[in-house]
Structure 1
Amino acid sequence: MVINVAFKVRGIGLSSFFGAMLAISATAQIRVEDPKKTTERSVEGRVNSRIDQGINKGLDKVEEGIGNIFKKRPRTPNGGKNKQTTDGQDAQSEEQPEKDELKTSKQTPPSGAGGLAMKAYSKFDFVPGEKIVATEDFSQDAVGDFPAKWNTNASGEVVTMEGAKFLQFAKSGVYYPEFVKELPENFTMEFDMLASEDLSVNMSGLKVFFPEFKERKLTFDQNFNSSAQAGIDIHPTADGESSSSSVWVFDKNSEKVVENTNRLAWKSNVANRVSIWKQKTRLRIYVNETKIWDLPKAFDSSLKYSMLFATSIFEGTVYLANLRVAVGAPDTRSKLITEGKFSTTGILFDVNSDKIKPESYGVLKELGTVLKENATVKVRIIGHTDSDGEDAKNLDLSKRRAASVKNALQTEFGIEAARMETDGKGESQPVAPNTTAEGKANNRRVEFVKL
């Protein structure tokens, strides 16, 4: 029996596996090339010859061990009216049991305000744009396929890890979502990024470019020699300590006017949240709770920009999930105090839960500041959901989420409970059709009404 298992895994218990496999009277050569690839893929294509039932059982043990790298839990069958998720914030069937999620922090906060994980974001000032214009969680794509709404000059495939779908990029190529066109002067972009432990320390990780819209094409120069653009290179390492990020800016004369590299605050073995914020000429970039770049003159206000991704990797793999693009420059103070109403999709919650995600800190901080500066103002906090799931459960969830926001403003920012009342409307007051992912994402919101 010849077994060639090409992967690097900690704590799988290979000795027991080898003993079981040696008892099988067959000959096969097994090669598992990437420990972080999904275990939901067919066994076909991973073995070089036809194998019997005993070999299949052996492969199951290998896959089971590989899945443990990400601590994968058993999936629970979906229920409700819609079995897919849209932007990764919520499972869109509000009545289904809580699904597996990729953690964005090794800490697990208590229910409600977010506890220790929320406090880690105390300097996080990212505020998402007001209107979501594009979301992508690859729910419409089959595992193993390149996403139908994307384009590339290379390859790639959708894989499943920890209950979420990721786009696994090829080692070298250019990629972009065709549904994201010309970007406005004010926008935010967020996505989850995961890197394999064997990612090369000598080559790049994931590049995010903002080229002129007319220059966005699959022949884009990945060596940064091009017309007007801004871009970053996110390069994680397995230990996290030597991770780095580079940034560059070219003006419309193709002259490089900004170039720099610094340390990247990267959490290993979990999905890291990348948040990008453009305000006219300014570019801010965050990884998890840390702001790593704040460039006041990254963009030319006379030009129109778009976006694309690129890879150039010697060894290892990078993955992307839960892309979210929103437009608009939030003006919390004016809308709440002057107009009497403020609505935000930037307060995020765990799946089917009232537990606030720590990356919501920037929005909550803005609201807390406004309420502190206007000490006589009282507000009603109203939760809203999309139309997926049972009406009664959506209504209950929206009420609990509103109460959780009140609790966060009270405990984290010292706003008196007597100044806040809460309510929930469930799915009854949509602001967009519930027929698209973007519409549903805009309907999942928290509204603040001045009393």
Structure 2
Amino acid sequence: MKKIFSLGLLGLFLLAPVQAETQILKKIGKKIKNKSERRLDQKIDKTIDKGLDKVEEGMEGKEGDSIPKGDKDANQKPADTENTVKLWSKYDFVPGEVVIFEDDLQGERNGEFPSQWDLKKGNVEMAQLGDEMVINFPSTEWANIVPMMKEKGDYLPDVFTLEFDAYFSEFCTAYTLSFYDMVNQKNTTRLPNITIKPDDIFIQHSGSTEFKGDENYPYWKRIAVSFNVRALKIYAGEARVVNIPNFRHNPTGITIASRQCHEAQYAAIRNIRIATGDLELYDKMITDGKIVTNGIRFDSGKAILKPESMGVINEIVKLMQQYPEIRFSVEGHTDSDGDAQFNKNLSEQRANTVLNTLADQGIGRDRLVAKGFGEEVPVADNNSPEGKANNRRVEFVKM
């Protein structure tokens, strides 16, 4: 053992300079590796933290029934007006002139049944999605709801529009529209059901229409329906996906149905509006001297234009291009909620937003002025959601 140990010491002594240099290189390499790993860990930690923050934001539902927040929002305006104008440049949906049903879900309580609706079958409840309330269809069984209308019987005239935001959690999410009230009316004329899916709309007895849907779930999509005597149009987001010139049916009411694909996913709607009357822009301008619309909408308490507003704005642009002598005073109006002076300032800011959007599309600024009247000139009472919706309007007054 002594001999072996002596030889080992001799070898170690002879190799000491080489080993010392090698050890230094190893230490340098180890430090570089450790620093790289630390930097990588920090980046990973930041990424995980951001991911957890998003998860926590989206899991703000009621206890035991959380809903993930969608990545995209139908009502969330793109980063700037230019992008909004470009994306929705062909959008031609114009809402009806008079709102007869409006539900923005204000004042609803989490877990309760929505107060402005009636239930035909299934399970429906209010839920919190992100920072707002939605009507949730929490079961895998189909549920049907109908709006509680003030007018009984056939409450849909020959001309009406329907709008709502639909939440698509995955490819199998679906919503069904029936043009009669399943609680209060009978389907005596065999009105067809319309099923809306992420990239397909199926109309009973008429077949299916495919279109390019979004690829990244979950997301919100603005659904808009326009009916004019016989013609039926349906929009999904900025795209018109159905155009039937002769629908051959007489809608009498509205029923909305949906369900979860399975327990891990969700179906929800929000911002539901039914309006009547056909807003023929030129005719209104000639007969009334102005065009009144509730179809130009903004983020709550702000002058940020919502994308679906482009339907009316695009039609105003076409009108002014066709008749270059027309000049408009763009006038903003609000409901009576909040401070009167704030509302007046806000209405003027919103009128300027509309003016600037028209100018961005080539309308000369010398043909436009902007004014704000706030809550000073109501056209309806402010005691109902429908009255408030009709008071929140933009008027194009001929000069």
Identical columns (%): 29
Residue aligning to 1:448: 396
Inter-CA distance 356–149: structure 2 relative to 1 (3 Å threshold): closer
Q: Does 1:268 align with 2:289?
A: no
1:137–1:322 contact (8 Å) kept in structure 2: yes
How many residues are treated as equivalent by the alignment? Answer: 343
**1:173 & 1:334 partners in 2: Cα distance?**
42
Structure 1 residue 35: deviation in Å?
Answer: 10
Residue aligning to 1:283: 232
Q: Which amino acid aligns with 1:306?
A: G
- Give the alignment of 1:241-390 within 5 angstroms: 243-248=199-204, 256=205, 258-266=206-214, 268-300=217-249, 303=250, 305-311=252-258, 314-315=261-262, 316-390=265-339
Structure showing the higher helix proportion among its residues: 2
**2:108 & 2:293 partners in 1: Cα distance?**
29
- Give the alignment of 1:58-97 within 5 angstroms: 69-70=69-70
1:280–1:299 contact (8 Å) kept in structure 2: no
Residue aligning to 1:151: 118
Q: Which amino acid aligns with 2:98?
A: K
Question: Aligned to 1:133, which of 89, 96, 100?
Answer: 100
2:118–2:145 contact (8 Å) kept in structure 1: yes
Q: Which amino acid aligns with 2:108?
A: D
Inter-CA distance 123–355: structure 2 relative to 1 (3 Å threshold): same
Residue aligning to 1:85: none
Structure 1 residue 364: deviation in Å?
Answer: 0.8
**2:52 & 2:370 partners in 1: Cα distance?**
56
Structure 1 residue 37: deviation in Å?
Answer: 8.0
Residue aligning to 1:206: 175
Question: Aligned to 1:195, which of 155, 163, 168?
Answer: 168
**2:369 & 2:50 partners in 1: Cα distance?**
56
Task: Tell which structure's C-alpha radius of gyration is larger.
Answer: 2
**1:449 & 1:319 partners in 2: Cα distance?**
38
Residue aligning to 2:363: 415
Question: Aligned to 2:191, which of 214, 229, 240?
Answer: 229
Task: Report the aligned-residue RMSD.
Answer: 3.0
Q: Does 1:39 align with 2:60?
A: yes
Residue 108 of structure 2: SS of its match in structure 1?
A: coil
Inter-CA distance 391–227: structure 2 relative to 1 (3 Å threshold): same
Q: Does 1:103 align with 2:70?
A: no
Q: Which amino acid aligns with 1:311?
A: S
1:380–1:450 contact (8 Å) kept in structure 2: yes
Give ranges in structure 1 of 5+ residues lacking alignment: 1-10, 18-33, 47-62, 72-101, 237-242, 249-255
**2:336 & 2:147 partners in 1: Cα distance?**
26
Q: Which runs of 4+ in 1 moved over 6 A?
A: 11-17, 34-37, 218-221
**1:331 & 1:16 partners in 2: Cα distance?**
50
Residue 229 of structure 1: SS of its match in structure 2?
A: coil
1:230–1:298 contact (8 Å) kept in structure 2: no
- Give the alignment of 1:161-176 within 5 angstroms: 161-169=129-137, 170-171=139-140, 172-176=142-146
**1:104 & 1:313 partners in 2: Cα distance?**
20
Residue 91 of structure 2: SS of its match in structure 1?
A: coil
Inter-CA distance 130–424: structure 2 relative to 1 (3 Å threshold): same
Q: Which amino acid aligns with 1:418?
A: D
Inter-CA distance 41–422: structure 2 relative to 1 (3 Å threshold): same
**2:325 & 2:51 partners in 1: Cα distance?**
68
Residue 409 of structure 1: SS of its match in structure 2?
A: helix
Inter-CA distance 310–190: structure 2 relative to 1 (3 Å threshold): same
Inter-CA distance 155–403: structure 2 relative to 1 (3 Å threshold): same
2:112–2:126 contact (8 Å) kept in structure 1: yes
1:174–1:218 contact (8 Å) kept in structure 2: no
**1:35 & 1:194 partners in 2: Cα distance?**
19
**1:394 & 1:376 partners in 2: Cα distance?**
32
Q: Which moved more, 1:358-367 or 1:266-275?
A: 266-275
Residue 219 of structure 2: SS of its match in structure 1?
A: coil
Q: Which amino acid aligns with 2:143?
A: G
Deviations 1:295-341 (A, max 9, x none): 112243xx452110223554232101110111001111011134311
Inter-CA distance 16–308: structure 2 relative to 1 (3 Å threshold): closer
**1:415 & 1:15 partners in 2: Cα distance?**
44
- The normalised TM-score by structure 1 is 0.69
Structure 1 residue 206: deviation in Å?
Answer: 1.1
Residue 271 of structure 1: SS of its match in structure 2?
A: strand
